């Protein structure tokens, strides 16, 4: 069974206290795919410009990510430039150039229409709705969003939430969406909007998972060094969804394990700029880090 992901593939320019990168591979669909593919097949739908380096396409192919839905259009690829401070909190956006992504109107290839598992990455909720209308009754749909869409397209986002099973959101966005100060209240309130599961990401402070009859809280995996936190949330979602799809049973135990797998995958993403680390890890690396995480948290 495979996951269909619709999102961005981009070129990033990033500066952190530990270095900087320019014209490196980025984008929500990129990070999600390179994470999830460690557990199950992934098909990607996105758009890039004519300037998109062939080496990046080859890298994704080498990871066995399905690229039939990757469209190359006339023009330049979506570019994002950001800078992080010493605390690695939300990046300061220096520049955003949507380029071909500004006209992104995804048409899901016929061969992907029957995908039973769909992840709608952080894109315009109107586009997320258009994608859902194209699909043939998926079994499980998950989505992500950001503060910009909560503020500018709340009505469309609320329609999306009525049609998804799992919703990924960070702590500040959960509060913004619900006008709740307390995250527990915010998570419970979002469940009323439609999703069966709400996953609240808190960065270095861990994750809270909400479902109808369960709340699960876990810390983040401790790292001594971080190079670039870009894409950590998308990587988390990839690990979470990849694990769920691999195991197919969406029960309490698997949901909790999915959170842990997502946390572990995110740690690989932040160890280097762009998804470099994600593209060279093996299952043994993931297993070793899962075992270490267990030792950190058991009592």
Domain ranges of the chain: 3-297
Class of domain 3-297: alpha beta
Q: What's phi and psi for 254, nearest 5 deg? A: -70, -35
| Count of residues making up the chain | 299
Tell me the whole-structure pTM to 2 decimals.
0.95
pLDDT of residue 160: 97
In the predicted structure, residue 161 carries a pLDDT above the cut 90: yes
In the predicted structure, residue 298 carries a pLDDT above the cut 90: no
Closest C-alpha among 299, 277, 284 to residue 231: 277
What is the gyration radius of the CA atoms in the chain, in angstroms? 18
Euclidean distance between CA atoms 26 and 135, whole angstroms: 26
Centre a 10 Å sphere on the Cβ of residue 246 and count the other Cβ atoms it contains. 16
pLDDT of residue 253: 94
Q: What value does the mean pLDDT take over residues 57-72? A: 95
Q: What value does the mean pLDDT take over residues 109-127? A: 96
pLDDT of residue 85: 80
Q: DSSP for 13-66? A: EEEETTEEEEEEEE-HHHHHHHHHTTTS-EEEEEEEETTS-HHHHHHHHHTTEE
Whether 79 contacts 56, CB under 8 Å: no
Identify the DSSP state of 153. -
Q: What value does the mean pLDDT take over residues 144-164? A: 95
Q: In sequence order, which ranges of the chain are alpha helices (DSSP H)? A: 28-36, 54-62, 125-134, 147-152, 154-161, 171-178, 183-191, 232-247, 252-269, 283-297
Structure tokens given for 71: 């469209």
pLDDT tens sequence across 246-258: 998 889 999 999 9
Whether 95 contacts 79, CB under 8 Å: yes
CA of 290: how far to CAs of 71, 215, 249, 257, 281, in Å? 36, 21, 20, 10, 13
pLDDT of residue 224: 80
pLDDT of residue 78: 94
- Work out the pLDDT band at 54, boundaries 50, 70, 90: very high
* Percentage of residues of the chain with pLDDT beyond 70: 99
Identify the DSSP state of 221. P
In the predicted structure, residue 163 carries a pLDDT above the cut 90: yes
pLDDT tens sequence across 189-229: 999 999 999 999 998 889 999 999 899 999 998 888 788 88
The residues facing 72 across adjacent strands are 48
Structure tokens given for 42: 């992934």
Of 30 and 86, which is predicted with more confidence? Answer: 30
Give me the chain's average pLDDT, please: 93
- Work out the pLDDT band at 88, boundaries 50, 70, 90: low
Euclidean distance between CA atoms 195 and 192, whole angstroms: 7
Q: Which residues of 46-62 are buried (b: 16+ CB within 10 A; e: fewer)?
A: bbbbeebeeebbebbee
Of 127 and 84, which is predicted with more confidence? Answer: 127
pLDDT tens sequence across 166-183: 999 999 999 999 999 999
pLDDT of residue 124: 95
Closest C-alpha among 74, 77, 68, 75 to residue 12: 77
pLDDT tens sequence across 12-45: 998 988 888 899 999 999 999 999 999 999 999 9
Euclidean distance between CA atoms 146 and 92, whole angstroms: 14
């Amino acid at each position: 069974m495979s996951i269909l992901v619709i999102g961005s593939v981009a070129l990033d320019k990033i500066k952190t206290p530990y270095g900087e990168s320019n014209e490196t591979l980025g984008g929500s669909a990129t990070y999600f795919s390179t994470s999830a593919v460690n557990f199950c097949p992934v098909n990607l739908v996105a758009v890039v410009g004519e300037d998109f380096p062939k080496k990046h396409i080859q890298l994704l192919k080498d990871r066995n990510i399905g690229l039939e839905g990757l469209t190359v259009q006339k023009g330049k690829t979506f570019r994002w430039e950001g800078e992080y401070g010493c605390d690695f909190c939300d990046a300061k956006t220096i520049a955003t150039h949507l380029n071909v992504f500004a006209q992104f109107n995804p048409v899901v290839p016929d061969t992907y229409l029957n995908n039973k598992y769909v992840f709608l990455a952080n894109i315009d909720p109107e586009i997320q709705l258009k994608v859902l209308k194209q699909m043939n009754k998926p079994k499980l749909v998950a989505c992500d969003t950001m503060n910009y869409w909560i503020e500018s397209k709340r009505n469309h986002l609320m329609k999306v939430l009525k049609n998804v099973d799992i919703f990924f959101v960070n702590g500040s966005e959960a509060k913004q969406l619900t006008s709740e100060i307390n995250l527990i209240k915010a998570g419970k309130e979002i469940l009323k909007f439609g999703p069966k599961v709400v996953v609240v990401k808190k960065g270095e402070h861990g994750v809270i998972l909400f479902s109808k009859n369960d709340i699960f809280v876990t810390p983040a995996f401790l790292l001594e060094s971080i190079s670039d936190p870009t894409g950590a949330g998308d990587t988390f979602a990839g690990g979470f969804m990849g694990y769920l799809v691999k195991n197919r049973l969406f029960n309490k135990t698997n949901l909790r394990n999915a959170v842990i797998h997502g946390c572990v995958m995110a740690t690989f993403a932040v160890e280097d700029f762009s998804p470099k680390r994600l593209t060279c890890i093996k299952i043994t690396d993931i297993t070793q880090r899962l075992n270490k995480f267990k030792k950190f948290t058991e009592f």
